[in-house]
Amino acid sequence: MAWSTAAPAVSAAFLAALVEIVEAFTIVLAVATLRGWRPAVLGTIGGLAVLACIVLILGPLLGHIPLATLQLAIGILLLLFGMGWLRKASLRAAGIISLHDEDAIFAAEAAELSEQARRQQRNLQWVAGITALKAVLLEGLEVVFIVIAVGAGRGLLLPASLGALAACAAVLVVGAFVHRPLSRVPENTLKFGVGIMLSAFGVFWTGEGLGIAWPGQDWALLLFASLFLGAGVIGSTLARKLVVGFA
């Protein structure tokens, strides 16, 4: 397998998984801090088990879909998902919408759990476990999609999965060490970068699905990524000027 083929898929899966797992980690940590590690760990294991079932059920089905159809479908979904991330990251960079704040999310989740404790004294462990499960499941679904999206078109599911697993391990190691929300992770910069990569993959797969043979093959991704980088920067700069102009 060529490095130029695997590297974009592995790095996109790693960075995207890093963003999502940091978000899930914040909520699991809030559960563990307020209700102990037992419901947090059980909820996390439950969420991972449901995700594994989804992958085991849907994974083999991918092999039955014609390659061009798979590339087109995944390409369109990547365009919608990646450009959505890039749009949001550009607006955050321009100060139009507020930055994602892990400390604030941790505080909100802790307050929600305390409120639930006041409302119902029974089943607190259950509620905490479900909260952790939901966080892992919802954020994990996005990771599963991204791994499939960047890996399935060229038989790169394994390297992409390894990229996502490496991100998971990195967050767990750092999280266990600092034992607080990972608020210093430059989330918007990561989202900006991942949005660029996913959008570039989206154009690539959509084009291939429509029968377009891109010149330079995988190297074309670099050109696509630089175009989306330029678009994100221009969009963000123009948005900032528009806001200043209105003020």
Partner 1 sequence: MTMLKELVAELIGMFLGEKRLTVTILVLVAVTGVLVDFIGLDELVGGAVLLFGCPILLIESVCRAARRGAS
- Whichever of 91 and 117 has its CB closer to partner 1, that residue is 91
Residue 171 is a binding residue for partner 1 (CB under 8 A) = no
Residues binding partner 1: number (CB under 8 A): 50
Sign of CA pseudo-dihedral 214, 219, 223, 229 = positive
- Piece of the chain touching partner 1 by CB under 8 A; list 107-115, 161-169, 172-180, 209-217: 209-217
Burial 176-205 (b: 16+ CB within 10 A, else e): eeeeebbbebebbebbbbbbbbbbbbbbbb
- Whichever of 170 and 188 has its CB closer to partner 1, that residue is 188
Sign of CA pseudo-dihedral 148, 173, 139, 122 = positive
d(CA 28, CA 174): 14
Residue 238 is a binding residue for partner 1 (CB under 8 A) = yes
Residue 97 is a binding residue for partner 1 (CB under 8 A) = yes
Residue 67 is a binding residue for partner 1 (CB under 8 A) = no
- Piece of the chain touching partner 1 by CB under 8 A; list 25-33, 63-71, 79-87, 173-181: 79-87
Burial 66-93 (b: 16+ CB within 10 A, else e): eeeebbbbbbebbbebbbebbbbbbbbb
Q: What is the three-state SS of 186-220? A: CHHHHHHHHHHHHHHHHHHHHHHHCCCCCCCHHHH
CB 82 within 8 A of CB 198: yes
Q: Which one among 49, 99, 172, 234 touches partner 1, defined by CB under 8 A? A: 234
- Piece of the chain touching partner 1 by CB under 8 A; list 11-19, 30-38, 132-140, 153-161: 132-140
- Of 9, 27, 46, give the one whose Cα is nearest residue 182: 27
Residue 246 is a binding residue for partner 1 (CB under 8 A) = yes
User: Roughly what angle, to the nearest 10 degrees, separates helices 124-151 and 157-178?
Assistant: 140
Residue 227 is a binding residue for partner 1 (CB under 8 A) = yes
Least Cβ distance, residue 236 to partner 1 (angstroms)? 7
Radius of gyration for the chain, computed over Cα atoms and rounded to the nearest angstrom: 20
Residue 126 is a binding residue for partner 1 (CB under 8 A) = no
- Piece of the chain touching partner 1 by CB under 8 A; list 60-68, 103-111, 151-159, 230-238: 230-238
Q: Which one among 8, 43, 46, 202 touches partner 1, defined by CB under 8 A? A: 202
Interface contacts to partner 1, rule CB under 8 A? 76-77, 79-81, 83-84, 86-88, 90-91, 94, 96-97, 130, 134, 137-138, 141-142, 145, 199, 202-203, 206-207, 210-215, 224, 227-228, 230-232, 234-236, 238-240, 242-243, 245-247
